[in-house]
Structure formats: structure tokens, C-alpha cells
Chain A
Amino acid sequence: MPEKLEAHVRRNNNLAIIQFSGDVTTFAEDVVQNAYHDATLYGGHNIAIDFSACEYINSAGIAAIIGVVTEARRQGRRMLVFGLSPHYQKIFRMVGLTDYVEMCASEEEALRKTKPPEK
């Protein structure tokens, strides 16, 4: 019954993007961890998570996200998220995740925020 979470990791300029599709729940922990690990292999400092294809995120899924956000902080990486519905934006603020990740309206905004200064 849970919609299996799938992750696709790609690069757009200096941003590694983890694109999730499916439910972010208890069953998502390994997928979230592995996707984060794959994103770090791109060697980038900036990692963004795209939630636009995730309709259901529960507390266990949030715990999994908190896990990788904590790891990213420890490694000195910058985390961004986009594609969250207004409800899940509220949930992310509620649990304090927005103190540690930057919420963006779109991939374009995430790219703008992480664009290196022009020389």
C-alpha cells in the first residue's frame, strides 16, 4: 500500500539534486541515506532535495530527512529543498528543519541561491 520511494540523483551546475518520488515514510530511510550518499559523490558542496513528486511525508520520513541534514551539517554541506506543498512547508518549519535547510520555491531559485559570485 505505501507508494515506494524512488530517488534519482542528478547534477545541475554546482548543485547536486536528489529527486524523490513516492511516499517518504519508515520504508524510505535507506533510500534517503543512499541518495544523500550518491549526491555527495558529485563532489558538490550544495545538495538540494526535490519533493515535488512526494504526496505523503510522515514523521518517520521527516526523521530520515533530519538524519541526512544532520550529516550534511557535520560535513559542512549546504542543504536546500524545493517542491514542498504549502502543508509540508509548514511541517518543516514546525519541526525546526528550516533552521538547517533553505526552502526554495523551485529548482531555479535553488540554483540562483547557490550560484557562485561572478568574478
Chain B
Amino acid sequence: MADDVTRSIEIHIPSELGYEKVAMEAAAATAKRMGFSMDRIQDLKTAVAEACVNAIEHGNKLDVSTKVGIMLTIQPARLEVNVTDEGRQPFPDRPIQPGRPTDNRGWGMFLIQNLMDEVKVSTEPDGGNQVHMVIHLDK
């Protein structure tokens, strides 16, 4: 892949729990092809799954008529992942601290932030939520 063409993979999954596993496997296959270690691929799978579950449950409120979009963009030394929903509601803003197991909700975003190298969460003008994640190849 020594050319200047940006390679990307885009998939859409129904807003139904369980379909996040399709996105996990697509991300894992892409990362494996890029040469990521198994350890980092596991991190990526968990982060992608959590972002999709957030989009399905919170962003799209489990409405199966809506879809979650997953865009994987291959860069020379990094993989970018964008997970978008149709914005039936904004994500809850609940920061979670480690070591407090009685706070038993909201761990998804905590895991994403701790497993990925870069994370940005935003709400688009049309109301859709987006989780932008980057994982670096050299870590």
C-alpha cells in the first residue's frame, strides 16, 4: 500500500444490540491487516463495540429503523474509527472514576477513553452523535 490513496471501509449496522459484533470483527480484520498486535486489536474491538452500543442504546434509542455507521479509515501509522448515530438523543455526560464498582453504569465511554489513543465525542448540527477514535500503530 505505497500509494497515496486513502483506504476506508464503511459499514452500517441496525440499532439492535448484538450487531456491534459485526463492527468489532470488521475493525479487527482491518487492524490485523495493518499489522497491529493482538493486544491492541483486542483494545480496538472493545472500544468499537462500546461506541456502537452507546450509539444503539443512547443515540438511536434502540430504534431498529435507524442505523449506526462505522467508518474505518486507514492512515500510514494509525487507524481512525468514526461511529455515528442518527441522534435520537445526545449521549449522557457522566464521567466515571476507576475503582468505584458501586457506580455500575456508564463504563462504556470510560473504556473507550482508556483503550484508544485519541477520542473525541461530538454532536453534529443535525443532532447525530459521533465518536471519533484513533489507535496508533506504533504503541
Contact = CB atoms under 8 A, between A and B. Distances in A.
Interface of A: 1-2, 25-27, 56, 58-60, 62-63, 66-67, 69-70, 85-87, 91, 94-97, 99-100
A87 B107 contact: no
B102 interface: yes
Contacts of A100: 101
Nearest to B112: A59
B18 A1 contact: yes
- Which range holds the interface residue count of chain B? 20 to 34
B2 to A, nearest CB: 32
A95 B39 contact: no
Contacts of B105: 63
18 contacts: A25-B18, A27-B17, A56-B49, A58-B53, A59-B106, A59-B110, A66-B102, A66-B104, A67-B104, A70-B102, A70-B104, A86-B39, A87-B46, A91-B46, A91-B111, A95-B98, A95-B110, A100-B101
A67 B50 CA distance: 19
B111 A1 contact: no
B107 A96 contact: no
B101 A56 contact: no
Contacts, number: 69
Given A56-B21, A86-B39, A95 B101 contact: yes
Contacts of B18: 1-2, 25
A63 B104 contact: yes
Contacts of A85: 42
B122 interface: no
Interface string B93-125: 000001111101111101100100000000000
Contact of B101 (A2, A25, A69): A69
B98 A59 contact: no
B43 interface: yes
A5 to B, nearest CB: 12
A70 B105 CA distance: 13
Interface string B44-62: 0010011001000100000
